Amino acid sequence: MRTLLLQSFRWIWKEQSRGKHVEKKEDIALLVDDVSVNYQRDNVLWNINFSLPKASMTALIGPNGAGKTSLMHAIMGIVKPLCGTISIFGKPLSQNKKNIAFVPQKEAVDWNFPISVLDVVLMGRYHFLGFIKWFSKKDKKEALELLEQLDMLKHAYKPIAELSGGQQKRVFIARALLQKADIMLFDEPFAGIDQTTEMALLEWMQTLKKQGMTLLVVHHDILSVKNYFPRTLLLNRVLIGSGPTSKVLTAENLEKAYGAKGHLLEEVIALSSKKMQGF
């Protein structure tokens, strides 16, 4: 019965997706096809279908409990989907996991762990090490160069516990960059940092996009989405909208995701966009 129900939902959502714009295969960095995720017998994601084009920057938004973290974990291969497939540049996820880098939430890290900034960054090369697990001189040189680019070289040998929130974010961005992946996942990177640091981080993300990287960013502030992200995924256990931000953040879609205040949210977002553009 459960299998039959799942197949029915998959068919319904496929039918609803017909006629929507589909990226050319050669332009797709990440393809999520009919993915459903079950966690402790609770269906947290149903029939998720979307693709991210190469060199794009996309926000992943939705209310608490929408399944954003579960989707990230599925994309990284931490959680195995109940059904569906995930492809990275046309290859199965299992064959291309190293091409995905992740910048976690601050809360997901033990900042009191006795480790230096440089050692954290070097962890980006861990999956590429041989049996001995020894970092090369080239690895260390590249790690220090990344810290210099992020204005963190002077902190290279400090314990991570001594850094500010913004500095900690930059360390984990350096770690992700050292992995040399083409897809970067960020879990609420703007949480807990000041406006100046937020703007600097946003500028870095835009630079990475221009360099050809594909970014998927969990974002909690829907008021700034239109100003920060060209593309958006709107999620609440099912995928409500995917594509250009202006087309996804409609009153109808916001009502589906957040409740009956969709029109009000749309007006607030529009007003916020005008204010920020005139800032």
pLDDT per residue as tens digits for the range 104-123:
887 677 777 889 999 999 99
Is residue 53 over pLDDT 60? yes
pLDDT, residue 23, reads: 60
| In the block, residue with structure tokens 């794009």 | 56
Q: Provide the pLDDT for residue 47.
A: 96
Residue listed under structure tokens 């940092």: 193
* Closest by Cα among 96, 128, 102, 103 to 28: 96
Each domain of the chain, given as residue ranges in start order, spans 28-277
Any alpha helices (H) in 211-261, and if so which ranges?
Answer: 225-228, 245-248, 251-258
Structure tokens at 228: 């920060």
For the domain 28-277, what is the CATH code? Answer: 3.40.50.300
Structure tokens, 147: 């810290």
Q: Which pTM value belongs to this model?
A: 0.84
